[in-house]
Amino acid sequence: MHAVLPRLESQRTTFPPLRRRSVSTLQVNLGYKCNQSCLHCHVAASPQRTEMMDGETVDLVIDTLRHVGAKALDLTGGAPELNPYFRALVAEARALGVRVIDRCNLTVLFEPGQETTAQFLADHQVAVTASLPCYSVDNVDKQRGNGVFDQSIRALQLLNSLGYGDGASGLELNLVYNPQGPSLPPSQVKLEADYKRILGDNFGIRFDHLFTLANMPIQRFGSTLISKGTFETYMTVLKDAHRDENLDGVMCRDQLSIDWQGYVYDCDFNQMLGLATRAGGRPRTHLRDVLASARDALNDGAIVVRDHCYGCTAGQGSSCGGALG
């Protein structure tokens, strides 16, 4: 895992400079503990990880939502639901009128202690963005572990039974696709149609949108590329497919990424590489620093870029909300 980091932290990059426009979304990593260990995971999350956001930092997240006037709270991990303060954070954010997104791996809904999580999400009108890297059992289990596909289908059927994805309840259910290896995602529009047809016909599943995300050459996936001798080849694929028109829509221009300790980054990928935001001229910014500054102090700030950023601008583009173009 760590073999990838020096390549991306210390390199000079040809990626175009970027500046933040606003802070409309806080993406918060509640911890690296997960009930899965996926091959493509850029967080290197697993059941063995112990890093978890504590209650004091969760309170700082709520205060920061108010301070910067963010409209959305995007919760990720690991499996964010495994954090003991997950429900309190969701409830506080919804009480503020903030849209909450739960990046759910689906199988966590059947973990001990999570029996009422799906109902909790529905009761608080949390948007669920769920990982399902393929509609094929073989491909999903290969990437995520034996039995994951069947459990994921059961979880999607459970969410559907609560009104998710029906287009009328207001309960939003989106799926996320990642390629199996070092290649760019196919057309999001075409793949979404395939997902809806196959999952609908075979399992009666409905959902709102499919988001296609490129795999980032960092952490567990980056280590796999290095071990197979394909790291540089994949970087060339990303750079050759760069499109300037995608720069306007990359997620870092309108959001901040917060790690489990409360430190601030320009995006989730920079967080995994330890590339802290340069906001305010500090070498490392914490939520306490954000709260001590003027509301717009992080707006129009320079974003830290490296070569992995080409993963967001290659081809149709890639963000936490799917393809850009």
Segment 220-244, tens digit of pLDDT: 778 888 889 999 999 999 999 999 9
- The answer to whether residue 247 scores a pLDDT higher than 50 is yes
Residue 5 pLDDT: 41
Q: Which amino acid is at 249?
A: G
pTM over 0.75: yes
Cα atoms in the Cβ-side hemisphere of radius 13 Å centred on 325? 16
C-alpha separations of 148 from 110, 236, 252, 267, 325 in Å: 11, 32, 31, 28, 31
What is residue 322's three-state secondary structure? strand
pLDDT tens per residue, range 168-213: 999 999 999 888 778 899 999 999 999 999 999 999 999 999 999 8
Mean of the per-residue pLDDT values for the chain? 89
Residue 261 has pLDDT above 90, yes or no: yes
Determine phi and psi for 202, rounding to 5 degrees: -85, -30
3-state secondary structure of 53: coil
Task: Give per-residue pLDDT as tens, 30-75.
Answer: 999 998 766 656 676 788 899 999 999 999 999 999 999 999 999 9
Q: What is the pLDDT of residue 320?
A: 83
Q: Which residue do the tokens 């057309």 mark?
A: 187
Supply angle C-alpha 79, 81, 82, rounded to 5.
Answer: 75
Whole-angstrom Cα distance, residue 239 to residue 15? Answer: 9
Contact 182, 233 (CB under 8 A): yes
Residue with more model confidence, 139 or 257 = 257
Residue-range domains of the chain with CATH: 2-313 (3.20.20)
Apex 32 CA angle, 199 and 214, nearest 5: 50
| SS3 state at 286 | strand
Angle formed by the axes of helices 188-203 and 148-161, nearest 10°: 80
Alpha helices in 124-264 (DSSP H): 137-144, 148-161, 188-203, 219-227, 231-240
User: 219 vs 109, which has greater pLDDT?
Assistant: 109
Strand partners, 174: 129, 209
